[in-house]
Chains A and B, each alone.
Chain A
Amino acid sequence: GEDVEQSLFLSVREGDSSVINCTYTDSSSTYLYWYKQEPGAGLQLLTYIFSNMDMKQDQRLTVLLNKKDKHLSLRIADTQTGDSAIYFCAGGANNLFFGTGTRLTVIP
């Protein structure tokens, strides 16, 4: 598998933007993904980006990809309390490997 690193915790106030960062080592992934996991639940695919793109916007979500620096980020605009969860970036050429996860806490 590859090494995929994320910062462990992020706290933001409701209505602010959240930015979750991810760095990875293996650049052979065709797609890179963001998954959301709520307490006690499985993983929900939020969005993904093709490796030859540098940005993708999907409603409140913006994904930025810097292939040169092997850095991926997820920006959530107008963060809501329902966005509180753990966010995993994931990638892999043949099978999916996950980052360490970032726990996002939204303060009302």
Chain B
Amino acid sequence: DTEVTQTPKHLVMGMTNKKSLKCEQHMGHRAMYWYKQKAKKPPELMFVYSYEKLSINESVPSRFSPECPNSSLLNLHLHALQPEDSALYLCASSQEGTEYGYTFGSGTRLTVV
């Protein structure tokens, strides 16, 4: 299995809702990442997990809450989002560090209404 699987593919949520994005990989990668990509922009790093521990939080608002239940799973819990949080949320995984590049999922397209 050489894929990163993200669910759901599309999500529409209200500003008072709580929802979660899920990401799964079975490549034995020990680093997992959340990126946010706005339209016509490059992906921006949000969080890095290394060996199931949060190692980087790129000053992301607390309405985004990551969780890594085990080495194969990464979640992003969403609460009280704003319309400007609408974006494509990409999960990636890698061997630790950048040596072999990152494998990306196809993303969750989130719309906040």
- Seen from chain A, the residues whose Cβ lies within 8 Å of a Cβ on chain B are 1, 29-31, 33, 35, 40-45, 48, 88, 91-101
Contacts and interface: CB of A to CB of B under 8 A. Distances in A.
Interface stretch (B11-19, B65-73, B76-84, B99-107): B99-107
Contacts of A95: 33, 45, 48, 56, 98
Nearest to A93: B98
Interface string B21-45: 0000000000001000000111101
Contact of B98 (A29, A35, A101): A29
Contacts of A99: 42
- The dominant DSSP class at the A interface is loop
Given A42-B105, A42-B106, A31 B42 contact: no
Contacts of A30: 97-99
B101 A41 contact: no
B90 interface: yes
A1 B98 contact: no
A99 B107 CA distance: 19
A87 to B, nearest CB: 11
Contact of A96 (B4, B41, B45, B107): B45
A62 B84 CA distance: 38
15 contacts: A1-B45, A31-B98, A33-B101, A35-B104, A40-B109, A42-B4, A44-B104, A45-B103, A45-B104, A88-B43, A91-B98, A95-B98, A96-B92, A98-B42, A101-B40
Q: For B56, B104, B106, which residue has the most chain A Cβ atoms within 10 angstroms?
A: B104
A42 B42 contact: no
A18 to B, nearest CB: 19
A48 B104 CA distance: 15
A65 to B, nearest CB: 15
A48 B101 CA distance: 8
A29 B97 CA distance: 11
Contacts of B6: 42
A102 to B, nearest CB: 11
A38 to B, nearest CB: 10
